[in-house]
Structure 1
Amino acid sequence: MPKTVIAGVDGSDESGNALRWAADYVDQVGGVLHAITVWHQPVQFGYRLATPDSELKQRAQSTLDAAVRPVREQYPNVDIKGRLIRGDDVDELVRLSEQADLMAVGNKGHSAFTSMMVGSVAMRLVQHAHCPVIVVR
């Protein structure tokens, strides 16, 4: 049975490394790689910022496309399906993990705490995902 592998993509170098790791894995064992970018309307001090949803969605799509393009070129035999999801990054990835055999994420992404050894998203996914999670450094 083909493997279903999910890679979380947020535009950081670390998530790009996780996507490449996942593509290499799928190239070796077979399956489908789902590159997932989760986006949301940011809130600061309890208020939504003035950026329109359409612009945020377009930025997320550009981030996803920029991450997937070179990996597709490097792994032309890997079936990579890019997908945007609106919501909370951890909640959405945990939900998707119910249907996955493996998830790969970067050890830290775009956040205010990029100096942490393992980012809060990666740590929460390791604790709550329904499949094994690989944290790529």
Structure 2
Amino acid sequence: MKALATNLCNNILVRGKEENISITPMKLQKLMYFVCRDYVQATGESPIAEPFEVWKYGPVLPSVYGEFRTFGSKPITEFAKDAMGCARKVSESKNPILSQVIDIVWAKYKRYTGSALSAMTHERGSGWYSAYMSGREKITLEDMENDKTGK
């Protein structure tokens, strides 16, 4: 079963909180993209059901945008919550590949700003670039499988 994007965001936000590294909404979107891209490349499937959309500043998950847009360009200070007000995250012990991918992406990109990560997602050959150049509104699994940017 695929995870909710907002739950997977919480896995990343926990790492930021533990290491006192701020994460803005833009940075979170791009970290999510890199996690999902690398997971797709490792397994052939996405860890989440929601596709990334092609927005001006790179890949965006609408549910994540909606959840954190009130923070604007400021660091996120709260976890995503479900309809019952509970903050949930994805069980990494049940999916060790996902856990490893999150760790690798976090270690590699945690010090970058949202703008720097956005620039990476715009590079020629990125999944966003492929979808954008094809005039598509969504980034496909194939786009993500072929994305070698930032590696």
Q: TM-score, normalised by structure 1?
A: 0.29
More helix by share: 2
More strand by share: 1
Q: TM-score, normalised by structure 2?
A: 0.27
